[in-house]
Chain A
Amino acid sequence: MSKAYEKNTITEDGQLLLKKAERDQIETVWDRYEAQLPQCGYCEMGLSCRVCVMGPCRVDPFGEGPQKGVCGADGDIIVARNLCRMIAAGAAAHSDHGRDLVEVLAEVAEGRAPGYEIKDMEKLKRVAAEYNIETEGKDPLKIAGELAHAMQEDFGTRKKELTLVKTAPEKRQELWKKIGVMPRGIDREISETMHRTHMGVDNGWQSLLLHGIRNALSDGWGGSMIATEVSDILFGTPAPKLTAANVGVLKEDQVNIVVHGHNPVVSEMIMLACQSPEMLKLAEEKGAKGINLAGVCCTGNELLMRHGVPMAGNHLVSELVLTTGAVEMMIVDYQCIMPSMGDVAACYHTRMISTSDKARFPGMTHREFHPDNARELAKELVTAAIENFENRGEVYIPVEPVNAIGGFSVETIVAALGGTPQPLIDAIAAGKIRGAVGVVGCNNPKIKHDYGHVTLTKRLIENDILVVDTGCAAIANAKAGFKVADAIEFAGPGLKEICGSLGIPPVLHMGSCVDNARILVLASALAKAMKTDISDLPLAAAAPEWYSEKAVSIGVYTVASGVYTVLGPMPPITGSMNVVRLLTDGLNDVVGAAFGVEPDPEKAAVLIRRHIEEKRENLGLPFMKL
Chain B
Amino acid sequence: MKKVVVHPERCVGCMQCMIACATAHSQTKNLFSATLEDPLPRPRVHVGAGLYGEGFPNRCRHCDPAPCMFACLPGAIYRDWETDTVLIDPDKCINCASCAMACPFGVIRYHEDASAPLKKTVAVKCDNCLERQNQGLIPACVEVCKSRALTFEDPSDAMKRKTNEVAQSLSSDTSRIEIAPGFTLLNTIKRTQVELKIEN
Could you tell me which residues of chain A, from 60 to 84, have a CB within 8 Å of some CB in chain B?
A: 60-66
B171 interface residue, CB < 8 Å from A? no
CB distance from A473 to the nearest CB of B (A): 17
* C-alpha gap A38/B10 in the complex (Å): 13
Q: For residue B198, which residue of chain A has the nearest CB?
A: A7
* C-alpha gap A446/B146 in the complex (Å): 26
Of the stretches A332-340, A418-426, A571-579, the one at the interface is A571-579
* C-alpha gap A244/B180 in the complex (Å): 48
* C-alpha gap A60/B180 in the complex (Å): 9
B186 interface residue, CB < 8 Å from A? yes
Which residues of chain B come closer than 8 Å to A8, judged between CB atoms? 197
- Which residue from A7, A45, A60, A63 sits with its C-beta under 8 Å from B186? A45
| Residue from A38, A39, A574 with most neighbouring chain B CB atoms (10 Å) | A38
Of the stretches B49-57, B77-85, B96-104, B132-140, the one at the interface is B49-57
* C-alpha gap A512/B193 in the complex (Å): 26
Interface of A is mostly: loop
- Which residue from B13, B148, B185 sits with its C-beta under 8 Å from A40? B13
Per-residue contact bits, chain B 1-45, to A (CB 8 Å; 1 contact, 0 not): 000000000111111000000000000000000000000000000
CB distance from B39 to the nearest CB of A (A): 22
* C-alpha gap A62/B50 in the complex (Å): 20
* C-alpha gap A62/B184 in the complex (Å): 11
Q: Are A63 and B179 in contact (CB under 8 A)?
A: yes
Q: For residue B183, which residue of chain A has the nearest CB?
A: A61
CB distance from A8 to the nearest CB of B (A): 8
A451 interface residue, CB < 8 Å from B? yes
Known: A62-B183, A447-B193. A41 touches B55 (CB 8 A): yes
* C-alpha gap A451/B193 in the complex (Å): 11
- Which residue from B14, B49, B148 sits with its C-beta under 8 Å from A42? B14
Which residues of chain A come closer than 8 Å to B14, judged between CB atoms? 40-43, 58
Q: For residue A10, which residue of chain B has the nearest CB?
A: B200
CB distance from A45 to the nearest CB of B (A): 6
Q: Are B197 and A599 in contact (CB under 8 A)?
A: no
* C-alpha gap A447/B53 in the complex (Å): 13
B169 interface residue, CB < 8 Å from A? no
Could you tell me which residues of chain A, from 34 to 61, have a CB within 8 Å of some CB in chain B?
A: 37-45, 58, 60-61
- Which residue from B47, B180, B189 sits with its C-beta under 8 Å from A569? B189
B74 interface residue, CB < 8 Å from A? no
Which residues of chain B come closer than 8 Å to A597, judged between CB atoms? 189
Q: Are A37 and B49 in contact (CB under 8 A)?
A: yes
Per-residue contact bits, chain A 537-581, to B (CB 8 Å; 1 contact, 0 not): 000000000000000000000000000000001100011110010
Q: Are B185 and A451 in contact (CB under 8 A)?
A: no
Q: Are A38 and B185 in contact (CB under 8 A)?
A: no
CB distance from A50 to the nearest CB of B (A): 13
Which residues of chain A come closer than 8 Å to B49, judged between CB atoms? 37-38
A448 interface residue, CB < 8 Å from B? yes
Q: Are A574 and B186 in contact (CB under 8 A)?
A: yes
Q: For residue A598, which residue of chain B has the nearest CB?
A: B192
Known: A60-B147, A60-B148, A570-B185. A38 touches B196 (CB 8 A): no
Q: Are A40 and B15 in contact (CB under 8 A)?
A: yes
A489 interface residue, CB < 8 Å from B? no
Which residues of chain B come closer than 8 Å to A600, judged between CB atoms? 192, 196
Known: A40-B15, A580-B182. A60 touches B146 (CB 8 A): yes
* C-alpha gap A451/B197 in the complex (Å): 9
Known: A39-B13, A42-B14, A44-B186. A66 touches B198 (CB 8 A): no
* C-alpha gap A202/B15 in the complex (Å): 31
* C-alpha gap A574/B49 in the complex (Å): 20
CB distance from A406 to the nearest CB of B (A): 27
* C-alpha gap A65/B193 in the complex (Å): 29
Which residues of chain B come closer than 8 Å to A62, judged between CB atoms? 10, 147-148, 179-180, 183
B181 interface residue, CB < 8 Å from A? yes
- Which residue from B54, B146, B183 sits with its C-beta under 8 Å from A45? B183
Which residues of chain A come closer than 8 Å to B54, judged between CB atoms? 38
- Which residue from B12, B185, B189 sits with its C-beta under 8 Å from A41? B12
Known: A38-B47, A570-B189, A599-B189. A61 touches B182 (CB 8 A): yes
| Residue from A40, A451, A455 with most neighbouring chain B CB atoms (10 Å) | A40
Q: Are A574 and B53 in contact (CB under 8 A)?
A: no
CB distance from B162 to the nearest CB of A (A): 14
Which residues of chain B come closer than 8 Å to A41, judged between CB atoms? 11-14, 55, 147, 183, 186
Which residues of chain B come closer than 8 Å to A580, judged between CB atoms? 182, 185
* C-alpha gap A574/B12 in the complex (Å): 13
Q: Are B183 and A64 in contact (CB under 8 A)?
A: no
Q: Are A58 and B146 in contact (CB under 8 A)?
A: yes
Q: For residue B13, which residue of chain A has the nearest CB?
A: A38
CB distance from B8 to the nearest CB of A (A): 12
Q: Are A65 and B148 in contact (CB under 8 A)?
A: yes
Q: For residue B53, which residue of chain A has the nearest CB?
A: A37
Which residues of chain B come closer than 8 Å to A45, judged between CB atoms? 12, 182-183, 186
* C-alpha gap A448/B193 in the complex (Å): 8
* C-alpha gap A574/B193 in the complex (Å): 16
Which residues of chain B come closer than 8 Å to A576, judged between CB atoms? 182
Per-residue contact bits, chain A 575-589, to B (CB 8 Å; 1 contact, 0 not): 111001000000000
- Which residue from B10, B47, B179, B182 sits with its C-beta under 8 Å from A574? B182
* C-alpha gap A139/B63 in the complex (Å): 86
Q: For residue A568, which residue of chain B has the nearest CB?
A: B193
CB distance from A54 to the nearest CB of B (A): 16
Which residues of chain B come closer than 8 Å to A569, judged between CB atoms? 189, 193
* C-alpha gap A123/B137 in the complex (Å): 71
* C-alpha gap A43/B192 in the complex (Å): 19
* C-alpha gap A543/B186 in the complex (Å): 18
Which residues of chain A come closer than 8 Å to B145, judged between CB atoms? 65
CB distance from A551 to the nearest CB of B (A): 16
Which residues of chain B come closer than 8 Å to A10, judged between CB atoms? 200
Known: A62-B183, A570-B189, A577-B181. A39 touches B10 (CB 8 A): no
Per-residue contact bits, chain B 148-190, to A (CB 8 Å; 1 contact, 0 not): 1000000000000000000000000000000111110110011
CB distance from A132 to the nearest CB of B (A): 47
Which residues of chain B come closer than 8 Å to A42, judged between CB atoms? 12, 14, 146-147
- Which residue from A65, A66, A574 sits with its C-beta under 8 Å from B183? A574
CB<8 Å pairs between A and B, sample of 25: A37-B13, A38-B47, A38-B50, A38-B53, A38-B55, A39-B53, A40-B12, A41-B11, A41-B14, A41-B183, A42-B14, A45-B12, A45-B182, A45-B183, A45-B186, A62-B147, A65-B148, A66-B146, A446-B193, A448-B200, A575-B182, A576-B182, A577-B181, A599-B193, A599-B196
Complex A-B, nearest 9 residue pairs according to Cβ-Cβ distance, in ascending order: A41-B12, A38-B13, A37-B49, A574-B182, A38-B55, A65-B146, A40-B14, A61-B180, A570-B189
B→A interface (CB under 8 Å): 10-15, 47-50, 53-56, 145-148, 179-183, 185-186, 189-190, 192-193, 196-198, 200
